[in-house]
């Protein structure tokens, strides 16, 4: 997934504000799930909701105003009730790594109680 960096994404120095990488990760996970036949909205309508329980980000280099960032996303682990997503964000032109990140999503029901990930959904997301 490509993300173009706009002025609104940056701090006063033209560098991507650190918390915006979390937004980019969320977009990438949403697209990843939709591309594999498990759109977030459809899952929510079925009472299957994923909430983020843990995030780790290693910042390697700053993204800047005008850059395009490429985000690579994949699942590194899937348990009965959680999925761990990995993200690598790179500067599109140079290929240099900006961040490496992990986000652990827990499956919950509409009342936010943990639940098992349905087998068919887990298979779609880990294929």
Residues with catalytic roles = 11
Q: Which residues fall within 8 angstroms of residue 25, CB to CB, at 6 or more apart?
A: 55, 71, 73, 85, 87, 101, 103
d(CA 92, CA 108): 35
Side-chain-side CA neighbours of residue 99 (13 Å): 27
d(CA 89, CA 85): 13
What is the Cα–Cα distance from 21 to 9, expressed in whole angstroms? 9
């Amino acid at each position: 997934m490509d993300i173009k960096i706009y002025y609104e994404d940056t701090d006063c120095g033209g560098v991507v504000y650190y918390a915006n990488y979390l937004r980019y990760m969320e977009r990438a996970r949403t697209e990843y799930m939709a591309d594999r036949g498990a759109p977030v909205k459809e899952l929510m309508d079925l009472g299957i909701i994923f909430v983020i329980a843990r995030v780790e980000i290693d910042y390697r280099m700053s993204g800047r105003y005008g850059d395009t960032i490429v985000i690579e996303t994949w699942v590194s682990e899937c348990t009965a009730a959680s999925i761990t997503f990995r993200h690598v964000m790179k500067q599109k032109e140079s290929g240099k790594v900006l961040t490496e990140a992990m986000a652990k999503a827990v499956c919950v029901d509409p009342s936010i109680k943990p639940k098992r990930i349905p087998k068919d959904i887990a298979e779609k997301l880990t294929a």
